[in-house]
């Protein structure tokens, strides 16, 4: 099919604005799906069970469809994109394989925080944006108001289409608009050597690694030898094809097309997402500009629930990181938890989803620590910069009088109803936020912009925001550099011994309330031991909170009433031995089952 009859586009939207429903409707209408989806069945493009359960798209999925327009068949490549803030890396990855995108806005909700940021991402990629107002069938829909917001707030000149992904109304017109407004891919099929961008990859049990590619120039077929511009690895192409949406083999992939390439590669390190693929013979082909280097926004320790599962956890993490290359993995060992990993994630939900996938798709049972936002340590003159990736690193810093700590801050966009704006502002201030902007969105809603420390978002901020706005406020953020902060390390000691995996770094003003909450939770969760346990939260050498877990001594003797002194003595002796055993374990006799709850 000639390049001018190809359109590569994706759909971007705020969460729940109907992107997956629209994708399904498009597949159904273009015949990619032979039968209509029944109402109960989950969306075709949301393949992962995590996605079905949470109703969010995590991994971008791609489908090729045929659409008739003006008496011609057009090949439309629809790239599904994740809707959540944490996955903006995947959004921009998917967008870089496209020339245009449909910006979908729910007519009952209007513009939300993610609508704004997704729109900015698309503009950054220089994409043609086709705005569309969805859910026009819903009784509460206000399509006119919604379209006005798209024009006023986002400044998109193009007229917004009206669709209902549910009933299918307007969807054919939307596809026509994609053909009319989105430019065809620019490509040189015959005059330039083959070059393709790997924008996604997954592991197939039988075929090894399957790469999803956007062919930029030239063409490729089974039997060709290809090489990675990044790693230099050479492999033979076993199969090429299109996602329809099931993988369907085809003879060749040509410039402008999106499809899959199977090489039988087993080692995931050979071809990386963001890498450029060339033919082995074309040594001179230059790599395409890759993606922005990934920056981990939070780190978490991941340990196997049982130590003998370390190897299988390692393999599972390797497989998952092929599919999600934005996760950074280091090895780590903790006194309390044994050998494990410290992984870097793009955000909090990203970490949560990763853990859930480890469990559900790879059958791993793991214990994870609280997410940690990396900090920078600098001297007053700006010298000696080092990164703190976990609370444990804090102790390795040589703290001088001029040593300062910088923490990452974000620029948060919050959209909420007028009625709760006071509560939202209070919440932001309580979390050390500074207001940057306050704009009315129509007569009912407000858009607030705040500078906030990322660490504050790692706590319960999101839940509190949802709580104080009855679920109506939406949040999105982007990085906004580093700022100095008065932070301290908060340790938890059990009978004088520090439990490394419970350490945290908090703002000095929060050390007392956080420490108090931690030791009282610890007290509730720990079984009473044969001896008294002192539970302390400490900053440096200063105890900020303390609880005592009483010994079980009384209970031991309660069983023997009467005057049998020798029996009592025997029991007390046994108890003493027990004490020794526990103490020699290091007084921290914390059962592993307790950790998931402690670390929450
Ligand atoms: P994420 O993948 O989580 O970003 O969500 P999404 O944008 O894909 O939303 P999804 O397609 O899952 O739709 C969210 C909800 O809106 C579902 O309950 C849909 O049934 C509903 N919905 C989607 N489109 C329409 C529509 O046109 N009309 C009505 N009434 N409901 C719709």
Task: Please name every residue paired with 73 in a beta bridge, in sequence order, or none if there are none.
Answer: 68
Token pair recorded at residue 421: 């704006």
Extract the tokens encoding 289. 């500009």
Query: Taking the CB of residue 234, how many other CB atoms lie within 10 A of it?
Result: 13
| Contact assessment for residue 282 and residue 194, using Cβ atoms and an 8 Å cutoff | yes
Q: What is the ipTM of this complex?
A: 0.97
**pLDDT score recorded for residue 261:** 92
In angstroms, how far is CA 412 from the centroid of its own chain?
A: 17
Q: Which of 46, 80, 76 is nearest to 60 (CA)?
A: 80
Mutate to test the pocket of ligand 1, among 10, 12, 14, 18 (most ligand atoms within 8 A of CB): 18
Distance 57 CA to ligand 1 centre (A): 12
d(CA 471, CA 16): 13
Q: What is the pLDDT of residue 387?
A: 87
Q: What local confidence, expressed as pLDDT, does residue 35 receive?
A: 40
Distance between terminal CA atoms of the chain? 54
Q: How far apart are CA 486 and CA 241, in angstroms?
A: 55
The pLDDT score that the predictor gives to residue 375 is 92
Taking Cα atoms as reference points, which of 59, 369, 425, 102 lies closest to residue 243?
59
List pocket residues of ligand 1, CB cut-off 6 Å: 13, 15-21, 55-57, 83, 134-135, 137-138, 164-166
CA-to-CA distance for 413 and 416, rounded, in angstroms?
A: 10
The alpha carbon of 45 and the centre of ligand 1 are apart by a number of angstroms equal to: 13
Annotated binding site for GTP: 13-20, 80-84, 134-137
* Nearest Cα to Cα of residue 397 among 501, 510, 489: 489
* Cis before 245 (ω within 30): yes
Q: Which atom of ligand 1 is nearest to the CA of 23?
A: 11
Full pLDDT tens readout for the chain, 600 residues: 888 999 999 998 888 899 888 988 888 887 654 444 444 344 555 555 554 454 444 444 688 989 999 999 999 999 876 555 455 556 666 788 899 999 999 999 898 888 888 888 888 889 999 999 999 999 999 999 999 888 888 888 788 999 999 999 999 999 999 999 999 999 888 899 999 988 877 777 777 778 889 999 999 999 999 988 877 788 889 999 998 877 889 999 999 999 999 987 766 566 677 788 999 888 878 877 765 556 788 898 898 877 778 899 999 998 888 767 778 898 888 777 778 899 998 877 788 888 988 988 888 888 888 888 999 998 877 677 788 988 888 888 888 888 899 999 988 889 999 999 999 999 999 999 999 999 888 888 899 999 999 888 877 788 889 888 888 888 888 778 899 999 999 998 888 888 877 888 999 998 999 899 988 888 887 766 666 778 889 998 899 899 887 776 555 445 545 556 666 666 666 655 544 333 222 345 555 566 666 665
H or E segment and range at residue 493: strand 487-494
Residue nearest to atom 26 of ligand 1 (CA): 135
Nearest residue (CA) to ligand 1, atom 30: 138
Residue 55 CA, ligand 1 centroid: distance in Å: 9
504 and 514 Cβ atoms separated by less than 8 Å: yes
pLDDT at position 36: 40
254 touches 184 (CB < 8 A):
no
Tokens of 379: 């001297």
For residue 15, the ligand 1 atom closest to its alpha carbon is: 4
Testing ligand 1's pocket by substitution, the residue of 20, 27, 46, 163 carrying the most ligand atoms inside 8 A of its CB is 20
Place of tokens 């209509």: 36
Task: Report the binding-site residues.
Answer: 13-20, 80-84, 134-137
Q: What is the pLDDT of residue 41?
A: 45
The Cα–Cα gap between 397 and 349 comes to: 30
**What's the whole-model pTM score?**
0.69
Q: Write the CA distances from 91 to 21, 60, 182, integer angstroms.
A: 18, 8, 18
Asked if 240 and 249 touch (Cβ cutoff 8 Å), the reply is yes
Q: Which pLDDT score, from 0 to 100, does residue 27 have?
A: 83
Whole-number pLDDT of residue 488: 92
Q: DSSP assignment, residue 305?
A: S
Distance CA 499, CA 591 (A): 12
Instruction: Give the pLDDT score at 101.
Output: 93
Three-class SS state of 452 = strand
């Amino acid at each position: 099919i000639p390049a001018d009859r190809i359109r590569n586009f994706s759909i971007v939207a705020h969460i729940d604005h109907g992107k997956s429903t629209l994708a399904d409707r498009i597949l159904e209408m273009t015949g990619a799906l032979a039968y209509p989806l029944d109402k109960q069945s989950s969306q075709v493009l949301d393949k992962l069970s995590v996605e079905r359960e949470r109703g969010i798209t995590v991994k971008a999925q791609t489908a090729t469809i045929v659409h008739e327009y003006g008496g011609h068949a057009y090949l439309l490549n629809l790239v599904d994109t994740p809707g959540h803030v944490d996955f903006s890396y995947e959004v921009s990855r998917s967008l870089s394989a496209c020339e245009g995108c449909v910006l979908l806005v729910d007519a009952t909700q209007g513009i939300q925080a993610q609508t704004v940021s997704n729109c900015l991402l698309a503009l950054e990629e220089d994409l043609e944006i086709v705005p569309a107002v969805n859910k026009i069938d819903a009784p509460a829909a206000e399509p006119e108001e919604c379209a006005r917001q798209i024009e006023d707030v986002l400044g998109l000149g193009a007229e917004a289409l009206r669709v209902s992904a549910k009933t299918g109304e307007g969807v054919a017109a939307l596809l026509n608009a994609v053909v009319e407004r989105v430019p065809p891919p620019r490509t040189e099929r015959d005059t330039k050597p083959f070059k393709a961008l790997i924008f996604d990859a997954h592991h197939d049990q039988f075929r090894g690694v399957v790469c999803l590619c956007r062919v930029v120039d030239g063409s490729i077929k089974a039997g060709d030898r290809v090489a990675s511009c990044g790693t230099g690895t050479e492999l033979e192409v076993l199969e090429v094809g299109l996602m329809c949406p099931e993988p369907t083999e085809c003879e060749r992939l040509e410039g402008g097309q999106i499809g899959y390439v199977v090489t039988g590669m087993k080692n995931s390190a050979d071809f990386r997402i963001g890498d450029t693929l060339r033919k082995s013979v074309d040594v001179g082909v230059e790599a395409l500009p890759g993606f922005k280097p990934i920056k981990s926004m939070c780190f978490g320790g991941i340990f196997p629930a049982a130590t003998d599962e370390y190897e299988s956890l390692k393999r599972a993490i390797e497989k998952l990181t092929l599919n999600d290359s934005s996760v950074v993995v280091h090895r780590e060992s903790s006194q309390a938890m044994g050998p494990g990993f410290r992984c870097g994630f793009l955000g909090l939900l990203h970490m949560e989803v990763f853990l859930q996938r480890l469990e559900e798709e790879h059958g791993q049972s793991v214990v994870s620590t609280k997410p940690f936002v990396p900090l920078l340590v600098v001297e007053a003159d700006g010298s000696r910069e080092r990164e703190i990736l976990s609370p444990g690193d804090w102790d390795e810093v040589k703290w001088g009088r001029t040593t300062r700590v910088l923490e990452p801050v974000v620029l948060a966009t919050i959209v909420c109803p007028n009625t709760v704006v006071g509560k939202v502002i209070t919440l932001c201030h309580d979390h050390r936020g500074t207001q940057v902007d306050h704009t009315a969105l129509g007569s009912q809603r407000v858009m607030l912009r705040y500078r906030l420390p990322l660490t504050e978002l790692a706590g319960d901020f999101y839940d509190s925001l949802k709580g104080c706005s009855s679920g109506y406020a939406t949040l999105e953020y982007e990085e906004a550099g580093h700022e100095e902060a008065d932070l301290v390390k908060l340790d938890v000691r059990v009978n004088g011994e520090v439990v490394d995996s419970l350490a945290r770094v908090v703002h000095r003003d929060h050390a007392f309330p956080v420490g108090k909450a931690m030791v009282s939770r610890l007290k509730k969760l720990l079984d009473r031991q044969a001896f008294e346990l002192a539970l302390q939260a400490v900053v440096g050498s200063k105890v900020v909170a303390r609880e005592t877990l009483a010994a079980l001594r009384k209970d031991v003797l309660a069983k023997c009433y009467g005057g049998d002194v020798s029996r009592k003595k025997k029991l007390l002796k046994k108890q003493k031995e027990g004490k020794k055993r526990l103490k020699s374990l290091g007084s921290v006799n914390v059962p592993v089952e307790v950790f998931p709850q402690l670390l929450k």
